[in-house]
Amino acid sequence: MREEEINIKQNKPWSKILSQTIKTGIIKSNLIPMFAGLTLSLYTYQISLFEKLPEIIFSFIGSTLVIGAAGAFNNLYDRDIDSIMQRTKKRPTVTGEIKNRKQYSGLGSSCLFSEY
């Protein structure tokens, strides 16, 4: 039965595996206060939203990449502990759905792109 479970798990779409690796819920919950801080600063300094629209878009993209890289790094770093905990046993790094090399390359590229 263990072999059947592994085959079923490996048939997940790549988008689902990626979202579990970078923890999309954490990204969303961190973007909300970032947006609140941006709008508060625009209001405080009486700056138009459209005046700083490119900076706001790049802030969202950069923050998303940094938070996603942090989530991926956490999954990579904690994979030995995650295999023990009931709540985290089904993470892609524990089940082998994503290999360490792919995660390292994704983590590195996400960090690089977020700096620009």
Residues 50/98, Cβ–Cβ less than 8 Å: no
HSE on the CB side for 12, CA within 13 Å? 19
pTM: predicted TM-score of the whole model, two decimal places: 0.77
**51 domain residue, yes or no:** yes
Query: Per-residue pLDDT tens for 51-62?
Result: 999 999 999 999
Q: Is the pLDDT of residue 75 over 80?
A: yes
pLDDT at 64: 92
Structural domain range at position 108: 23-115
Kindly provide the b/e burial profile for residues 50-67, where b requires at least 16 CB atoms within 10 angstroms of the residue's own CB: eeeeeebeebeeebbbbb
Query: Per-residue pLDDT tens for 76-110?
Result: 889 899 999 999 998 888 888 877 776 667 767 77
**82 domain residue, yes or no:** yes
**91 domain residue, yes or no:** yes
Q: Give the count of domains, the chain.
A: 1
Residues 31/63, Cβ–Cβ less than 8 Å: yes
Bigger pLDDT: 45 or 69?
Answer: 45
